[in-house]
Amino acid sequence: MFATNMDSARDVVGVPSTVLIPMRFVWPYGGRSVFFSGSFVRWSELIPMTPVEGCPTVFQAVYSVTPGYHQYKFFVDGEWRHDEHQPYVSGEYGLVNILLATDPNLFHPNVTSEMTSGPNYMEEDTEAFKRLVRITDGSLTDVVLRISEADLQSSRDCISVFLSTHTTYELLPESGKVVALDVDLPVKQAFHILHEQGIPLAPLWDFSNGHFVGVLSALDFILILRELGNHGSNLTEEELETHTIAAWKEGKAYLNGQIDEHGRGVPRQLVHAGPYDNMKDVVLKILQNGVATVPIIHSSSEDGLFPQLLHLASLSGILKCVCRYFRHSSSSLPILQAPICALNVGTWVPEIGETNRRPLAMLRPSASLSAALNLLVQAQVSSIPIVDDNNSLLDIYCRSDITALAKDRAYAHINLNEMTIQQALQLGQDSFSPFEPRGQRCQMCLRSDSLHKVMERLANPGVRRLVIVEAGSKRVEGIVSLSDVFKFLLG
The pLDDT score that the predictor gives to residue 466 is 94
The answer as to whether 9 is a domain residue is no
Nearest to 87 by CA among 66, 60, 108: 108
The pLDDT score that the predictor gives to residue 236 is 58
What whole-number percentage of the chain has pLDDT above 90? 31
CA neighbours closer than 13 Å in the CB half-sphere of residue 45? 13
**Same domain? 309 vs 365:** no
CATH classification of the domain holding 35: 2.60.40.10
The pLDDT score that the predictor gives to residue 437 is 40
The answer as to whether 120 is a domain residue is no
Q: What is the pTM of this model?
A: 0.68
Q: Which of 51, 76, 101 is the last residue of a domain?
A: 101
Provide the domain limits for residue 479.
329-490
- Tell me the per-residue pLDDT of 361-420, one tens digit each, with 9 for 90 and over: 899 999 999 999 999 988 888 899 999 998 999 999 998 888 888 777 777 777 888 899
**Same domain? 306 vs 357:** no
The pLDDT score that the predictor gives to residue 434 is 39
- Tell me the per-residue pLDDT of 155-184, one tens digit each, with 9 for 90 and over: 899 999 999 999 999 999 888 889 999 999
**Same domain? 282 vs 378:** no
**Same domain? 182 vs 269:** yes
The answer as to whether 144 is a domain residue is no
Q: Which of 53, 72, 101 is the last residue of a domain?
A: 101
**Same domain? 214 vs 299:** yes
The answer as to whether 6 is a domain residue is no
How far, in Å, CA of 460 to CA of 68, rounded? Answer: 42
**Same domain? 347 vs 483:** yes
**Same domain? 85 vs 223:** no
Average pLDDT across the chain, whole number: 79
The pLDDT score that the predictor gives to residue 151 is 83
The answer as to whether 279 is a domain residue is yes
Number of domains into which the chain is organized: 3
Nearest to 117 by CA among 90, 78, 79: 90
Q: Which residues of the chain have pLDDT under 50?
A: 1-17, 103-126, 134-145, 231-234, 432-439
**Same domain? 427 vs 486:** yes
**Same domain? 293 vs 399:** no
The answer as to whether 142 is a domain residue is no
The pLDDT score that the predictor gives to residue 141 is 39
The answer as to whether 367 is a domain residue is yes
CATH classification of the domain holding 420: 3.10.580.10
**DSSP bridge pairs for 242:** none
The pLDDT score that the predictor gives to residue 275 is 94
The pLDDT score that the predictor gives to residue 364 is 93
Q: Which of 248, 283, 317 is the last residue of a domain?
A: 317
The pLDDT score that the predictor gives to residue 294 is 95
The answer as to whether 56 is a domain residue is yes
**Same domain? 263 vs 399:** no
**Same domain? 305 vs 390:** no
The 3-state secondary structure of 366-410 reads: CCEHHHHHHHHHHCCCCEEEEECCCCEEEEEEEHHHHHHHHHHHH
**Same domain? 344 vs 483:** yes
> Sign of the CA dihedral 168, 170, 171, 173?
positive
